[in-house]
Amino acid sequence: MSNTTVRGKVWTAVTQTFKLPMALIMRMITKLINRVLMNTSALPSPKMMNGQAAVDCKRRKMVVGLGNPGMNGSRHSVGMAVLTTLAERLGTPDSWRSDRQVSGEVFVTHLQDIQLVLLRPKLLMNINGVSVAKAASKFSIPPEHILLIHDELDKPLGKFGIKHGGSARGHNGVRSCVDCLHTDVMPRLRIGIGRPSGKTPVDRYVLGRFSKEEQPVLDSVMKQSVDVLLTFLTDSQPQTSPAEGRRASRKNKARALSPPQDTTEEHKQN
């Protein structure tokens, strides 16, 4: 065996040995940044309208599009794209306003008898949770009424589904929300982007834009995922409570909402 081969194997062993600890170190750093940002800025007080609490908490929900500000069109920010499509469907796409108190852009509207708060964080993906927690405090919305929309590597492009709470499954934006809200009960609409082919690094892949060939599939996903989202938001069945969240998420880890004319758990664009 040549010296070059031996050195190569030794270097591979060393990098593999430090790979997990470095990942844990980065996670600890991100968690610390989340806490520092939460502690250094006072949480906004519950929103008031005409001197009274705006709406009963049971009739108020928030939908968050996770992503990186200024990176519209990237795979990692597909959650923001779906949220923008939802705003267009609701009829007032130009009603977004910047809100310093929540470090994001907010759009407040009504869907049937529900006051709906749409949020696009203006913080980086890894600390999106700071913006979500601030908005939850300002609008008095409990975690179980906050729906996160995000990209999902483990689903191919063309598939999407709703997950009822549970772990972040490696998604840094969701992990930030879990850290800042101190619970994992938030439902999520996961939009499949698939995994990179060949030796393309995952970070480069998720920060890249969808190709022209992928765009027609994405457009169809946008429309159909918003259909499912609207059905979920207006569903009269009670949401999982914080006390039951983690236990329920284990039992229904991969459960997805059925569309109006379908009973499948995972959705695929037609």
What is the pLDDT averaged over residues 79-87?
96
What is the pLDDT averaged over residues 242-251?
36
Q: In what order do the strands lie in the sheet with 114-121?
A: 97-99, 104-111, 114-121, 60-65, 146-152, 187-192, 159-164, 267-268
Q: What's residue 101's pLDDT?
A: 94
- Which residues are within 8 A (CB) of 197 and not within 5 positions of it... i.e. 6 or more apart? none
Report how many helices (DSSP H) and strands (DSSP E) the chain contains, helices first. Answer: 7, 10
Query: Which residues sit opposite 7 in a β-bridge?
Result: none
Measure the CA–CA gap between 101 and 37, rounded to whole angstroms.
12
**Is position 76 annotated as part of the catalytic site?**
yes
Q: What's residue 245's pLDDT?
A: 38
Could you tell me the pLDDT band of residue 3, with boundaries at 50, 70 and 90? low
Q: What's residue 2's pLDDT?
A: 58
What is the pLDDT averaged over residues 121-149?
96
Mean pLDDT of the chain: 80
Q: What's residue 40's pLDDT?
A: 62
Q: Mean pLDDT lowest for which of 118-132, 143-157, 169-183, 246-260? A: 246-260
What is the pLDDT averaged over residues 89-118?
92
Residue that wins the pLDDT comparison between 249 and 38? 38
Q: What's residue 37's pLDDT?
A: 72
Model confidence pLDDT, tens digit, residues 208-227: 999 999 999 999 999 999 99
- Which residues are within 8 A (CB) of 254 and not within 5 positions of it... i.e. 6 or more apart? 161, 163, 265
Could you tell me the pLDDT band of residue 178, with boundaries at 50, 70 and 90? very high
Residue that wins the pLDDT comparison between 269 and 198? 198
pLDDT of residue 166 exceeding 70, the answer is yes
Model confidence pLDDT, tens digit, residues 10-64: 556 655 655 557 666 666 777 677 677 776 655 666 654 433 344 555 689 999 9
Model confidence pLDDT, tens digit, residues 140-163: 999 999 999 999 999 999 999 999
User: Catalytic one among 76, 150, 164, 171?
Assistant: 76
